[in-house]
Amino acid sequence: MADTPIYQLVKDALRAKIESGALLAGDMVPGEEQIAADFNCSRLTAHRALRELADEGLVVRRRRAGTQVAPRDGGGVLIRIPSVREEIEGRGFAYRYELLTRRHAAPAAVIAEALGAAQGERHLNVVGRHWADGRVFQHDTRWINLAQVPAALDVDFSEVSANHWLLENVPYTGVDHEISALAADGRAAEALEVAAGTALLRIERVSRLGDRPITHASMLHPGALFSLKSERR
Amino acid sequence: MADTPIYQLVKDALRAKIESGALLAGDMVPGEEQIAADFNCSRLTAHRALRELADEGLVVRRRRAGTQVAPRDGGGVLIRIPSVREEIEGRGFAYRYELLTRRHAAPAAVIAEALGAAQGERHLNVVGRHWADGRVFQHDTRWINLAQVPAALDVDFSEVSANHWLLENVPYTGVDHEISALAADGRAAEALEVAAGTALLRIERVSRLGDRPITHASMLHPGALFSLKSERR
DNA sequence: CCACGGCATTTGTCTTTACAAATTGAACCC
DNA sequence: GGGTTCAATTTGTAAAGACAAATGCCGTGG
């Protein structure tokens, strides 16, 4: 016997109707009272099912107007970027982090702006590489906003990667990304051990606590060798 | 007066404690009874607040063991890829779609496999370009699985982009992505109106209904000119 | 015909009450 | 000491009742 909760049964039934096309965008979904009658449950149970579907974006609810199937987003798609380590080990390679440099210096103007920091202010710069077996998988240039995370100055990042330490020790509320492709110049080619001119995938990431930037990371991948794979929904 | 619902007040209070670091990963969160007493509300209201925080991944709940702050994901980051049109118009450019070719043919082996189709089976191939003002923003090669979407054969994609038509007319349950960088070969360079060898950003997307692939899309961006920007959470 | 207002409907939140399910921790037996 | 059983605690789901808030609809009046 199915001991799946009733609200879940209701959700599944409605979801099936929507995904099968039996209910199209804009169509009215039965009201809470109606569903409660159909499934022989209380209005609260029907309400919960509809509310959760609304939270997931499948339906739109308005008082008095009732519930209708949400218009297909048309908009975007959510993808998940796994952590480097997860990505590498998921492909069956051995993971290794190598610290290249760690210095206390003033970042370039672009970076300073991204960090919301004053020009010339000194912050922490950590540069490292993530290896997949014998090949460089990612080159990681990170600036840590010392105004937000002064404790980072006391950390030696030779053992822990900056990414890892930050995740463990610094709370954040949001992350902004920018993904682009570029051709490797001399320095990048050397760092990644590829030929100059190779196409690289670059991910720039600013993590924030509220609206205060915590870190700026610039991650480079040899794009011809590896690719980021993301999952559904 | 604040007419924000009580469960929301509870959520905000706990979220604040977690994000400020007052509660660290692994720390116990007060139980439902305790919260109900603290906020002078019913257990169900406290339950709803905790349940929603658990749905959002901030806390972990186990019967008898109680509720504790979830370990920081460490894992991945969710980003949102906006639709091409949204992306272009969001930057203030005029959007235009141009159909290049539309043919009924057998895809290459790799594509056929991604579509879950038999070798040599004919499907619908739609190739087009998305323009931002006078420049090519994206080149889009799409294969539509006719076993799943036979109706696509009757559509002339000169007016509507394939992406748009599919979103409007075909339900899907999941999308898989792969993002990579590559250097433009002759044909790609011509299609995107860039110099050969320019670094390109490529997004490959397979959309599914259940586990049956609907479409395979290969999207190329001139990476030096444009980049994808994603939003928080 | 149009503008305004009130009414009825539908969703949103909350309380109280109840029982089920999971799991920890302790008592218990061997 | 080690494994097993049992009970208490905590979360999960549900019902019924109640009132609040939003808003589409219709009727009224101009």
Q: Phi/psi of residue B213, each to 5°?
A: -65, 140
Q: How far is CA A198 from CA A22, A72, A95, B34, B220, in A?
A: 49, 39, 23, 59, 17
Q: Across-strand partners of A129?
A: A98, A139
Confidence check: pLDDT of A74 > 80: no
Q: Shortest Cα distance from B87 to chain A (angstroms)?
A: 9
A80: left (phi over 0), alpha (psi -120 to 50) or beta: beta
E strand or H helix at A56: none
DSSP one-letter code for B155:
-
Task: Kindly state the tokens that stand for B187.
Answer: 């044909």
Residue bearing the bigger pLDDT, A233 or B58: B58
- Identify the three-state secondary structure at position B81: strand
Confidence check: pLDDT of B45 > 80: yes
Q: Which residues of A touch B227 (CB under 8 A)?
A: 178-180
Confidence check: pLDDT of A232 > 60: no
Locate CATH 1.10.10.10 in chain B.
6-69
pLDDT tens digit sequence for B168-185: 788 777 888 888 899 999
What pLDDT sits at residue A210? 81
Q: How far is CA A146 from CA A139, A164, A170, A204, in A?
A: 22, 17, 12, 19
- Identify the three-state secondary structure at position B72: coil
Confidence check: pLDDT of B230 > 80: no
pLDDT tens digit sequence for A193-212: 999 999 999 999 999 888 89
Which of B 118-157 lie inside 8 A of A, CB atoms? none
Give the residue among A33, A50, A55 at the shortest CA–CA distance from A42: A33
Calculate the angstrom distance between C1' of D27 and CA of B49: 43
Are B138 and B129 in contact by the 8 Å Cβ rule? The answer is yes
- The angle subtended at Cα B196 by Cα B193 and Cα B198, nearest 5°, is 85
What radius of gyration do chain B's Cα atoms show?
A: 24
Q: Which residues of B touch A21 (CB under 8 A)?
A: 171
What pLDDT sits at residue A16? 92
Instruction: Pinpoint the alpha helices (H) of B68-155.
Output: 84-90, 109-114
Strands of the sheet containing B66-69, edge to edge, are: B28-29, B66-69, B59-62
* Range in A117-131, A168-182, B138-152 the model is least confident about: A168-182
Distance CA B92, CA B114 (A): 35
Locate CATH 3.40.1410.10 in chain B.
84-222
Q: Which residues of B touch A185 (CB under 8 A)?
A: none
Q: Which residues of B touch A79 (CB under 8 A)?
A: 78-81, 175, 177
Average pLDDT, chain B: 89
CATH architecture for segment(s) A6-69: Orthogonal Bundle (1.10)
- Averaged over B178-195, what is the pLDDT? 93
What pLDDT sits at residue B74? 57
Strands of the sheet containing A66-69, edge to edge, are: A28-29, A66-69, A59-62
Calculate the angstrom distance between C1' of D27 and CA of A64: 19
Which of B 81-100 lie inside 8 A of A, CB atoms? 81-83, 86
Give the residue among B25, B32, B35, B23 at the shortest CA–CA distance from B60: B25
CATH code for residues A84-222: 3.40.1410.10
Residue B21: closest C-alpha in chain A: A171
Contact A71/B at CB under 8 A:
no
Chain B interface, best mutation among A163, A180, A185, A221, by max B CB count within 10 A: A180
Residue B162: closest C-alpha in chain A: A74
Confidence check: pLDDT of A187 > 80: yes
What pLDDT sits at residue B7? 96
